[in-house]
Amino acid sequence: MTHDRIWYLLGRKMANELLPEEEKELERLLQQYPDVSYAKEVLLQSWKDKQKDFAAADVEAALQRNKQRLLEVQVEEVPTPRTNKIFRMALRLGSVAAAAILLFIGGRMWLSRQADSKPGQPALQQLVTKTGSRTYIKLPDGTSVWLNAGSKLDYPEQFHGSNREVVLREKPISKWRKMPSILSL
Amino acid sequence: MINNELIRLHFRSVCAEGDMAAYDALYRLMYSRLVHFSAAIVGSFHLAEEIVSDVFIMIWQKRQELTNVENPVVYIYISTKNRSLNTLQQQKRHRHASLDMLDTDALTISPDAEHTIISAEIVQKIEAAIRSLPDRCQLIFRLVKQDGLRYKDVAELLEISPKTVDAQLAIAVKKVAAAIRLNMPQELAQAFLFS
C-alpha cells in the first residue's frame, strides 16, 4: 500500500523526530490523502492512561511515602553495606554461639547464686531504646553500637582488664570496633 | 521533548549537589510513566509502585557515582526495567523473565475524551486496535507517545535498533489510523476530503 510511507512519517511526527524535508513530504502526502489528516490530529493530541491515571495528589502521596522510606534507609546507611553483610553473617554465627554461651552463663548463674553480690563488681549501665527509634551509643572502650528499636543493652561503666562483657536483648544493628569477649544475646 | 530536558537537569542537580528539591521534581515528573512501565513487566501496579520507589532510593544513595551518567532518562528506565525483571524472577521463580510477555493492560492509552474531536465509540475502537498489536509494539507506541522517549532511547532501553523502533511505530500508527478511518462518520470524511 502506498500509504505505508505516511504511517512511517506520522510515527516520526508523533515522536518529534521528523526532519525538515520529511515534514514537507508528510504535508504533500496529507494533501493527497486528506482523510489521514483526521488520524494525524488524533495521534498528535494528548492521550491518557486507561488504568491508574494518577492524579497529582496520588503522585504527591507516593512521593511522601518515598521520602519517609528515604529517611529510614539513611539511618541504616551508617554501617556500610559490606560491613553490614559481614556483620549479618557474624550475627548468624553469633546466634549459634550465643545459644552455647547462654547455656554456659545460665549454668554459671546457677552455680554462683549464693555468691550473688560479689564486692568489686563494676556498676552496670542499661540502655533501653524505645520502639521505633534507633540509638547510637559509644561504650567506655570506644566500641560503637547501633541499637535497634526495642532493644536493651547492659554494659559496665568501666571495662576492667580483659573481661569486656555486655548483655544485649533483641537484635542489634551494630559495628563492633572489636568484639567484646563475651556477648550474651 | 521539554520534559526530558527537565529530567536531565533535575538528575544532574540531584547527583552533583544532592538537591532534594530536584529529587522531588524528578519523582513527580517520572512517577506515573515508570509505574506503568514497571507494571507492564511485573503485572501488578502495587508491586510497580514499590519498585519505582526503590529505584529512586537507589538513585539518591548512589547519586555521587551517577554524575557521569550520559542519558539520565534512559538510565532511570533501564534501572526500572532491571529491578522489575529481578522482582519478577524472584516472585514467580521465572528462570527467564523478559520483556516478551507483558501485561499490556498497564500500557493502554487512549485519546483524552475531554480534548478529543472523536466520540467515545471511536476511542474504544482505537483502544481495541492498540490491544490487537504485539506486546512489544504496544510498549514502543506507549514509550514514544505517552512517555515522550526518543527513538534512540527506546532502542537502547529495549536493546533493539532504532530502525526497528521506526518500523514498529509505523505499524501501530497504521492500526490506529485504520480504526479511526473505519469509524469516521460519512460527513466528517467528506469535510476532510474537501477541506
Same domain, B29 and B88: yes
Domain tally for chain B? 2
For residue B125, is it within any domain?
A: yes
Same domain, B58 and B124: no
Burial of B128 (C-beta count, 10 Å sphere; 0-12/13-18/19+): exposed
CATH of the domain at B166: 1.10.10.10
Is the Cα torsion angle B124, B129, B133, B137 positive or negative in sign?
negative
Same domain, B34 and B75: yes
CA distance B183 to B176: 11
CA distance B107 to B97: 18
Q: In this structure, what is the dihedral angle of CA atoms B151, B156, B161, B164, given to the nearest 10 degrees? A: -50
Same domain, B73 and B123: no
The upper half-sphere exposure of residue B45, i.e. CA atoms within 13 Å in the direction of its Cβ, equals 14
Other Cβ atoms less than 10 A from the Cβ of B180: the count is 24
Residues A138-180 pLDDT 10s: 777 777 676 666 677 777 777 776 677 777 776 555 555 555 5
Strands A152-156, A124-128: parallel, antiparallel or unpaired by DSSP? antiparallel
Distance from CA of A10 to the nearest CA of B (A): 7
CA distance B46 to B60: 22
Q: pLDDT per position in chain B (195 positions), as tens?
A: 468 899 999 999 999 999 999 999 999 999 999 999 999 999 999 999 999 999 999 999 999 999 999 999 999 999 999 999 999 888 776 556 677 789 989 999 998 877 667 788 888 899 999 999 999 999 999 999 999 999 999 999 999 999 999 999 999 999 999 888 776 665 555 555 554
Q: Contact, A27 vs B182, CB < 8 A?
A: no
Same domain, B190 and B113: yes
For residue B154, is it within any domain?
A: yes
Tell which of A1, A10, A18, A35 to mutate to test the B interface (max B CBs under 10 Å).
A35
Residues A27-66 pLDDT 10s: 999 998 888 888 899 999 889 998 999 999 999 999 999 9
Cβ of A51 and B108 within 8 Å? yes
Same domain, B114 and B88: no
Q: Contact, A8 vs B151, CB < 8 A?
A: no
In this structure, what are the phi and psi dihedrals at residue B101, rounded to the nearest 5 degrees? -105, 110
Cβ of B31 and A73 within 8 Å? no
Cβ of A35 and B189 within 8 Å? yes
Q: Contact, B140 vs B150, CB < 8 A?
A: no
CATH of the domain at B24: 1.10.1740.10
What b/e string do you get for A110-132 counting C-beta neighbours within 10 Å, with b at 16 or more? eeeeeeeeeeeeeeeeebebeee
State how far the alpha carbon of B172 is from the alpha carbons of A107, A149, B22, B52, B138, in Å: 77, 54, 35, 27, 7
Q: Contact, B138 vs B158, CB < 8 A?
A: no
Tell which of B24, B26, B32, B37 to mutate to test the A interface (max A CBs under 10 Å).
B32
Q: In this structure, what is the dihedral angle of CA atoms B114, B115, B119, B125, given to the nearest 10 degrees? A: -100
Q: Contact, A168 vs A184, CB < 8 A?
A: yes
| Domain, as residue range, for B152 | 108-194
